[in-house]
Amino acid sequence: MTSTTFRIGGDLGVHRLGFGAMRLPTEQGAARETSVQVARRAVELGVTLIDTAHLYGGGANEELLAEALHPYADGLTITTKVGVARSADSGEWGLDGRPEVLREQVEHGCRRLRVERIELLQLHRIDPEVPLADQLGTLRELQVEGKVGRIGLSEITVAELGRAREIIEVASVQNRYSLLDREHEPVLAACEAAQIAFLPWRPVAGAASDAAARIAEVAADLGATPVQVSLAWLLGHSPVILPIPGTARIDHLEENLAATRVQLTPAHRDRLDRLAELA
């Protein structure tokens, strides 16, 4: 039986199927009202981990979640990411891991989310132009100051994870990963060995026709949808995987979260395990 919960950092309990808020429109009007409803429905359905980032609208996504969900339900964790900033000269977004930028984004994130401490803060990307010790050292300082609870990383290699763990305690890793995109399998294995939460972004990837047909066959056998099968595969593939599928529609949200009820047989799982070769 697949466990439905995980303790991030060994102590922060969350349900293993979360919600990625990136796709929620934040502009004023009907679209924003729908976004608020989607976020609230996610919590009603038992989601306890919601992922956002400073990058998503320059903090607008964080503000939206606070508008929809504050005061937060007991046990709800909103994780955000820092380390990408807009250039004052060009207006373009780019990596920026300078200590002063990371600190400013954390402080702004706390204000926008209406919290005194971000329970799980993730570095959006490692900035190759700034020493890793400076980037992670800043986040560790914020942790000591009580503004950050746990620290995670995103889009890293096994080697980078190893170097980071010499500086901080890594609570989570957020890399691209799905049933059909397993490039970061070695990173997942390293996370599993260390009991580090692995939050795959883009957890449901598009499939080539042959792979899509085989997923559909498994879904038909189980009375599920292909999306639900893909998410169920992730949940069963490793106990440290915490998918965060995103959507701006309530019907898709409900479809995604129902994946926890899909039980893959060993035969189905074996068929799915082979699909990466067709992607």
Maximal C-alpha separation, the chain:
56
- The two tokens of residue 21 are 């808020």
Identify the H or E element spanning 13. Answer: strand 12-15
243 vs 241: CA distance, rounded Å: 6
Where in the sequence numbering do the catalytic residues fall?
56
Tokens 């607008």 found at: 60
